[in-house]
């Protein structure tokens, strides 16, 4: 039985849901760290607010269309998980970051999305309304896909892939491929077009990761210091003129040897002639603990 375009579209839509589901869950380690530290200081809320706004836009667009049910399923989950992320960030963020995030939510989620819904509902009707909302989603999706340029620039400048996780780049690229074919098979340019850019930037990130991770390994290999050999104590035997090597004494062993020298003195003050010809006194503390055996 041959698959029709709708069947292929459904298959790519399901795959797109699975991959996007993994992408939506990718920040979990970050928020686990925030939970353990009990603070979101040093982290930014912008990606989660933008992702929330994007999911809301695509849900609105999907409701205006008749054959994009799989957009509704994944973006419904996106709204749910991104709301949790933003809520956790607000709970653990410092006061200044909390205020900034609140303003961003009002500007995008409340003001921006509310304005789009009101304008399109009152000024446009029928098919035209769906087209206008689709173009808004297209423009916003393109701007979101351009965002990784900042990371790409940082990787090239620092010659380090520390801030560009490979797995996330791979899943974002796969997601772009799945949604591109989903939109293409449904003949929906608003879904397909932005994912072309997403695929290009995803491949670019993977290529940069491979190039600069190899360079990092080469630099680390060059900078690796030779192993420091453990020093040894060499004592010459006067009778045989042979050198005898002994392992280096630990600090505890040295202390015990000094204590032993002090304890064998019968008097509390031992007078000896120092190499310089002067008399040296070594006072013995009555509270000196007994010598303990230490394995060499």
| Mean pLDDT rounded to a whole number for the chain | 80
Q: State the Cα–Cα distance between residues 194 and 203, nearest whole angstrom.
A: 15
Q: State the Cα–Cα distance between residues 283 and 265, nearest whole angstrom.
A: 10
Taking 60 as the threshold, does the pLDDT of residue 235 lie above it? no
Q: State the Cα–Cα distance between residues 41 and 57, nearest whole angstrom.
A: 29
What integer is the mean pLDDT of 245-256? 63
Q: Which of 196, 204, 161 is nearest to 180 (CA)?
A: 196
Domain contains 231 = no
Domain contains 197 = yes
Q: What is the CATH number of the domain that holds 164?
A: 1.20.1280.290
The pLDDT score that the predictor gives to residue 77 is 96
Domain contains 281 = no
Task: Enter the tokens of residue 280.
Answer: 């040296």
Q: Which of 55, 59, 76 is nearest to 68 (CA)?
A: 59
Q: Given CA atoms 62, 63, 65, 68 in this order, what sign does their dihedral have? A: positive
* Residue 61 contacts residue 24 (beta carbons within 8 Å): no
Q: State pTM to two decimals.
A: 0.69
Taking 80 as the threshold, does the pLDDT of residue 34 lie above it? yes
Domain contains 259 = no
- Structural domain total, the chain: 1
Q: Given CA atoms 253, 256, 262, 264 in this order, what sign does their dihedral have? A: negative
Domain contains 143 = yes
Flag the least confident range among 59-63, 79-83, 168-172.
168-172
Domain extent for 140:
1-223
Domain contains 176 = yes
Q: State the Cα–Cα distance between residues 224 and 187, nearest whole angstrom.
A: 56
Domain contains 236 = no
Domain contains 173 = yes
CA distances from 212 to 169, 236, 276 (A): 15, 54, 62
């Amino acid at each position: 039985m041959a698959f029709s375009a709708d069947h292929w579209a459904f298959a790519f839509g399901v795959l797109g849901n699975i991959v996007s589901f993994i992408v939506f869950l990718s920040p979990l380690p970050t928020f686990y760290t925030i939970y353990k530290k009990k603070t979101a200081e040093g982290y930014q809320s912008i990606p989660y607010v933008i992702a929330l706004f994007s999911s809301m836009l695509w849900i609105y667009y999907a409701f205006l269309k008749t054959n994009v049910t799989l957009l509704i399923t994944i973006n419904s989950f996106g709204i749910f998980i991104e709301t949790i992320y933003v809520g956790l960030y607000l709970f653990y963020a410092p006061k200044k970051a909390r205020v900034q995030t609140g303003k961003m939510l009002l500007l995008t989620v409340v003001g921006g999305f509310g304005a789009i819904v009101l304008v399109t509902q009152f000024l446009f009707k029928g098919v035209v309304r769906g087209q206008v909302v689709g173009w808004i989603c297209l423009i916003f999706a393109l701007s979101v896909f351009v965002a990784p340029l900042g990371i790409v620039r940082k990787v090239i400048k620092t010659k380090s892939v520390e801030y560009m996780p490979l797995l996330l780049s791979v899943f974002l690229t796969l997601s772009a491929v799945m949604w591109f074919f989903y939109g293409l098979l449904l003949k929906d340019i608003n879904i397909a077009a932005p994912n072309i850019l997403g695929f290009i930037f995803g491949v670019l990130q993977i290529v940069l990761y491979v190039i600069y991770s190899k360079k990092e390994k080469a630099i680390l290999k060059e900078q690796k210091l030779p192993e420091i050999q453990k020093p040894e104590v060499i004592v010459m035997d006067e009778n045989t003129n042979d050198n005898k090597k002994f392992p280096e004494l630990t600090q505890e062993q040295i202390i015990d040897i000094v204590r032993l020298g002090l304890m064998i003195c019968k008097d509390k003050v031992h007078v000896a002639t120092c190499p310089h010809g002067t008399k040296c006194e070594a006072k013995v503390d009555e509270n000196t603990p007994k010598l303990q055996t230490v394995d060499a």
